[in-house]
Structure 1
């Protein structure tokens, strides 16, 4: 068992859902905490607030990409490859989840129960986190540096 698996088990035992886990780990990469943001991520839990829609691991992953590459205020521009990164993440997840579970929704993955199985869901969060980190690296975005915190000298 690796460090990410252990962290996911810890977060799951604390009652956090997939989308929240994705954001908590990204914030920890930046040595940051942001309870309001983590709280907001609960809107993506269990397929969009418990509706069984798109899996929270991938919607959380899209939010993590936004944390690093999205537009945050009127004077800021999104990264020129932000939309492509999100599209690549969604295509990758759709292919993975469709092959394994018949589709990318929480209902597909949980067999319609809507009850997360930490074995399956934890693995999907871990794989999605790896894909997000890969996309950031491919686009020369340092996951330890918050957007706007990069050296501009």
Structure 2
């Protein structure tokens, strides 16, 4: 699924950050919503607590891989290569962005309350696409168990 630029714009204007948007897109793809999960993803915004550290697009991507391929119940085992998937994402991200940290990528600090820079949209979009590619490559592209 290619990322819809208008949908991303709407999510940004609604106040969602990179990590949240990646999970919203992943859930939308499955026809699901999970406001509690999206709320939890807020902690990863702006490089974890808006610290400018590890980029929320990357952590959101890792969480989406976990959502699709991880262990969620005592009876599940999760995909046996989940850590390889996440490491593939991290390596790709560092190579394409030049850093895994927000401030390193943006070359500026993220001040509290400031808008997210325009380049973040492209980073979110390409990261979401890469997550989909990784999931398909590892055949982890399965539906989540209904927990609701």
TM over 0.5: yes
2-side partners of 1:134 and 1:78: how far apart?
Answer: 18
Map of 1:3-152 to 2, 5 A cutoff? 4-98=4-98, 103-114=99-110, 115=114, 116-117=116-117, 119-142=118-141, 145-146=143-144, 148=145
Structure 2 unmatched ranges of 5 or more = none
2-side partners of 1:35 and 1:112: how far apart?
Answer: 30
1-side partners of 2:133 and 2:55: how far apart?
Answer: 20
2-side partners of 1:58 and 1:7: how far apart?
Answer: 19
Give the paired residue count. Answer: 141
2-side partners of 1:37 and 1:53: how far apart?
Answer: 21
Deviations 1:63-122 (A, max 9, x none): 000001111122211201111000000000011111xxxx221111222321520x2000
- Secondary structure of 2:48's match? coil
What TM-score does the superposition give when structure 1 sets the normalisation length?
A: 0.86
User: CA 1:18/1:3 → structure 2, altered by over 3 Å: closer, same or farther?
Assistant: closer
- Secondary structure of 2:4's match? helix
What TM-score does the superposition give when structure 2 sets the normalisation length?
A: 0.89
Q: Which runs of 4+ in 1 moved over 6 A?
A: none
1-side partners of 2:48 and 2:140: how far apart?
Answer: 28
Deviation at 1:3, TM superposition (A): 5.2
1-side partners of 2:71 and 2:97: how far apart?
Answer: 29
C-alpha root-mean-square deviation of aligned residues, in Å? Answer: 1.5
